[in-house]
Structure 1
Amino acid sequence: MALYEELSEQEIFRRQALDELRSLGIEPYPAAMYPVTHSTADILSDFENMSQNRAEVYIAGRIMARRIMGSASFFELQDEKGKIQVYVKRDDICPGEDKTMYNTVFKKLLDIGDIVGVKGFVFRTNMGEESVHALELTLLAKSIRPLPIVKEKDGKVFDAVTDPELRYRQRYVDLIVNPGVRDVFRKRATIINTMREFFNSKGYLEVETPILQPIPGGAAARPFVT
């Protein structure tokens, strides 16, 4: 209880949910190897063909939004390549008499930020949304700390994470909730790797030198009084 007193209300609830998951025999740390076959980008790029053939897929990613209803619900799954909607029906992920996986685990013990694996097939909903129909749902990691919730509607983003202090000191949060930031880092890495490969092929030697730093820093810095 002393530990819980130092945590936010959401963090306390999430730790309690973790205890309940373990009591049900679900241990998310460390998760077993999950056999991912497709990324969200793979599915969306070949969606028409995959949906017509009801292609079976295994995908994994982070829950970024949920719409909980009765015996059927939706959630948004985000992996390193993008996002896709997942349709979850109680009787599909719980084909037997035991409905614990849907009624308790999915509806009550999972949260935004949790990482899950989904086995299912590709289809389009009645509203025209490109989706994956889940047949199996596996918890891969429980998110103990809540993520900032960024809302998006009609192409407009609301409540975006823009605070420089948060973005630079907690870069992992910035990368999770701001897809544009991930794209910038991905492009930056590609540019640097391409330049490095070019110069390496020409026999150049890469060395580290101070960049825009006329005064020594780190261990070579001299103490001073402000």
Structure 2
Amino acid sequence: MDDASVRMRVVFDERIGDSRAELAELLGRCGVAGGRSGYLAEIAARLEVFGSAGEPSSTPILDAGADGLEYFRRHGPERARRQRREFDFDAEIGRRYASQRGIPLAELRADAEQLESLCSDMLDVRHEPWQRAMWQRVGGFADTLRVACDAVERIVFDKADAVHRLADDPGPYDDDRYEARLAVFEAACRHAEADIADVLRRLGGEMAATDLAETRYVG
């Protein structure tokens, strides 16, 4: 991994760590003590050991945490009734949670591998210093793309994990409990949106510096 990719990983680690700290604090205020279970626990174990869970896309990660949405489906209508309004689960909860569905993680990793392979082949046959320097930059971008993909996977996992922990609440509606859990949900959505946007912005900057700006990674 080149120096630029290492620096980017450090930046992502710090930002993701800050987001996790806020989510942990908000979950603590809810009194949520339950751990991970099911598929999310498997993903967490892979992230811990390998730094990447190798998920094909963001969708199965979000699906694994979606049971926490049932709290809002169950209690949202009562909160809305007390506020004298209608409750629209899809608009207020469902679509916000699903906004990171469909990110093609496996496809992005494959692109990084193809770039890496191409660079290796070209470095074997290109001997001019300027040519080698150019292909080394492209190889560095392959590392950066992989780092960015892993960061996005972790960000989506943190969102799903936080929401999943809201699932276990069989009690009756309570204003304070609902607001505390809604704060977790809103923070999880906010961090996912902002953190992924930051990853893409930095990835676009690295791409421009590598003369690859005409690809599909930046809109």
Same fold (TM over 0.5): no
Greater helix fraction, Structure 1 or Structure 2: 2
Structure 2 length normalisation: TM-score?
A: 0.23
TM-score, length of structure 1 as denominator length: 0.23
Structure with the greater relative contact order (CA < 8 A, sep ≥ 6): 1 or 2?
2
Where is the strand percentage greater, Structure 1 or Structure 2? Answer: 1
